[in-house]
Amino acid sequence: MTLRTITDEELLARIRQHDERALRELVNRHYVRLANFAFSLLRQRDFADEAVMNVFLNLWRRRATLSVNGQLRSYLLAAVGNQTVNVRKRQQRHAADALDDVVLSKLAGGTLADEDLLFRELQAEVDELILSLPPQRQLIFRLNRVEGLDYATIAKALGVSKHTVQNHMVAAIRQLAPQLPRIRRVLHS
C-alpha cells in the first residue's frame, strides 16, 4: 500500500509516528485548496502560503499530542482560517493593505475587455465587503459561502456551537445586505 492510497486519518496516524513522508503526502493532498482558501481571506499569495505552511508546521510540532475530532479536512480549513486571522493582525501592524487588488486596466489605459474590468470591480467590491466583517464572522462566512461547509461542520471544526455559527451568518448577512446597492451600482455603471 502506497501513501497515495491511504486515508487522511491513516496519514495522520503515521505522522504521529514521526513519518515525514506521510506529512509530505498530506501537504501534497491539501496544500492547493488550503492556499486558495487562505488567499480568499488575505488577498496576498505570500501571506496565504505562510498561513498554510504554519498550519502544517504546527501539525508536525504537535503530532504527538494532536487530537482531531471529525474530518481532517475540516480541521485543516479551520486551522488555516485561524492562521489567517493571525497573519491579518500582523499585516495591519506592519503595513497598509497592498495594492494587489488595483484594477490593472486602469493602470494600463483600459486594455482589458469591459467584461473583465466589470468582473474585477465586482470582485473587489465583494472582497471589500467581506473584509469589513470581524475576523471570526469573516471566517465562518467564507467557510460556508466559499468552501460550502454546512453549519454543523463549521461548528465542529471551530469548536463552537451550531447556534453560534448560525448567529454569525445572520449577523454577516445583516451587515452585508445594506451594502448590496454598492455592488448593484458597479453592475449598472
154 neighbors 165 (Cβ within 8 angstroms): yes
Q: What is the arithmetic mean of pLDDT over 75-103? A: 67
Confirm or reject CATH 1.10.10.10 for domain 101-189, answering yes or no. Answer: yes
Q: Which three cell numbers stand for residue 4?
A: 497515495
Q: When comparing pLDDT for 32 and 91, which is higher? A: 32
Domain ranges of the chain: 1-98, 101-189
Quick one: three-class SS letters along 24-79? HHHHHHHHHHHHHHHHHHHCCHHHHHHHHHHHHHHHHHCCCCCCCCCCHHHHHHHH
At residue 97, the pLDDT reads 39
At residue 117, the pLDDT reads 67
Q: When comparing pLDDT for 118 and 84, which is higher? A: 84
pTM over 0.75: no
Quick: pLDDT tens for 37-72. 888 888 888 888 989 999 999 999 999 898 888 788
Quick: pLDDT tens for 104-150. 444 444 444 566 666 677 777 777 788 888 888 888 888 888 778 88
The values of phi and psi at residue 96, to 5°, are -75, 165
Other beta carbons within 10 Å of 92? 10
> Tell me, which fold does domain 1-98 have in CATH?
Rna Polymerase Sigma Factor; Chain: A (1.10.1740)
Q: Which three cell numbers stand for residue 42?
A: 488575505
Q: What is the overall mean pLDDT for the chain?
A: 79
Angle at the Cα of 91 from the Cα atoms of 86 and 94, rounded to 5 degrees: 125
Provide the percentage of residues in the chain whose pLDDT is more than 70.
77
Give the residue among 91, 86, 37, 33 at the shortest CA–CA distance from 58: 86
At residue 99, the pLDDT reads 37
d(CA 165, CA 171): 10
